[in-house]
Copies of this chain bind each other. A is one copy, B any other.
C-alpha cells in the first residue's frame, strides 16, 4: 500500500465541501490504490456541525481513508498537506460593502498564504474556490514565502464546464465532443467565455453556432449561471462547484489531453497583455504538474474588449486589498 497523501480543505462544514469530501475520500482524485488523509479546517463555531460530517465519513468505511482530522487552526490543517482546497470564505453579511468583503477575505487569505509558506512544501498545489477567488488567491500567493505562482490557482473550471455544457447542449452533442473552450478573466459575472477557438466535433464552434447566439445568449448565460441555479434550486451551486474543484485538481496532477486545454486562473506573466501578477483565467496546458499559459492565440477586437473589462475588474479588486500584499 502506498504512503497516504494529505488533502486539506477549508470551509469543510459548508455545502461545497459536503459535495467534495465524500468524492475525495472515495479515491476519485488520486485513484483506487492511493490512501488519503483529510485535514478539515473550519471556523470554531462550525466545528460541532463538522463533527457530524466526520461521523458520516466514518460511516462510509472508505478503504482508502487513512485518517480524518478536524481543526480550527490553519497550521494544523496545512502542515504536511499535498493538495489544498481553500473552499471557505467569508460571505457577504447584511450592510457589507463589496470593499469590506474583499478586505475581510483578503485578511483570511493573507494568513492562510503565510501559513502555507511556513509549511514549506514546495510541491503543494493550492486551489482557491472561496470568493472573490482570484483576488483571494493572489493575496495568498503574495504572502507565501518560498512558494511560487506554480503552487496557486483560483478556480475557473466551474465556468469552463458551464460553457462546455451549454455549448454541448446547444449543438446536441456530448460534452466530450467539445474542445478548446476558454473562460478568460475573473470568476465573476465579468468573466469572458470565449468560443473563438472552440471546436465541436473538430469543427470551429463559431461556424456551428451563430454569432448572435454567442454574443447575445451564451456569454451572458455563462456569466450569470450561478444566479440561475440559485433561482431554481433555492441554494447556490454546490455539487457542480465541488465537481469542478475535483476535476481541476485532477487535471493539475494528471495533465491536460494533447488536443485540449482547460481554463485556470493563474498569476499573469503578461501574456495577452494582462497586467503581471493579477490572478487571471487563461487557457493552460499542464504537463507533469506544471501549467503553461497557451501562447499565440489570436484575439479579436471583440475578445480584446472583454478581456480588458475583466482585467479592469480585477485591478479594482487589487486596489482594495493591495495594502495586504507583501
Contacts and interface: CB of A to CB of B under 8 A. Distances in A.
Interface of A: 18-19, 21-23, 26, 28, 35, 48-49, 51-53, 55-63, 65-66, 158, 160-162, 164-166, 168-169, 174-176, 178, 225, 228-229, 231-234, 237-240, 242-244, 247
Nearest to A168: B61
A51 B161 contact: no
Provide the main secondary structure of the chain A interface: helix
Nearest to A228: B55
Contacts of A178: 61
Contacts of A233: 49, 52-53, 55-56
A5 to B, nearest CB: 15
B19 A65 contact: no
A23 B24 CA distance: 11
A228 B23 CA distance: 23
A65 B169 CA distance: 12
A26 B51 CA distance: 27
B55 A232 contact: yes
A60 B22 contact: no
Given A168-B61, A240-B60, A229 B161 contact: no
Given A49-B234, A56-B239, 17 more contacts: A18-B19, A22-B242, A23-B23, A52-B232, A52-B234, A55-B228, A55-B229, A56-B229, A58-B169, A59-B161, A59-B237, A60-B161, A61-B162, A61-B164, A61-B168, A63-B176, A65-B175
26 contacts: A19-B19, A21-B239, A22-B239, A22-B242, A22-B243, A48-B232, A49-B232, A51-B232, A52-B229, A52-B231, A52-B232, A52-B234, A55-B232, A56-B229, A56-B233, A56-B238, A59-B158, A59-B162, A59-B165, A59-B237, A60-B244, A61-B162, A61-B164, A61-B168, A62-B175, A63-B175
Given A48-B232, A243-B26, A237 B56 contact: yes
Given A229-B52, A239-B18, A165 B61 contact: yes
Nearest to A169: B58
Contacts of A49: 232-234
Q: Which 5 residue pairs spanning A and B have beta carbons closest together?
A: A52-B232, A52-B233, A56-B240, A61-B175, A63-B176
A59 B26 CA distance: 22
A58 B232 CA distance: 14
Contacts of A51: 232
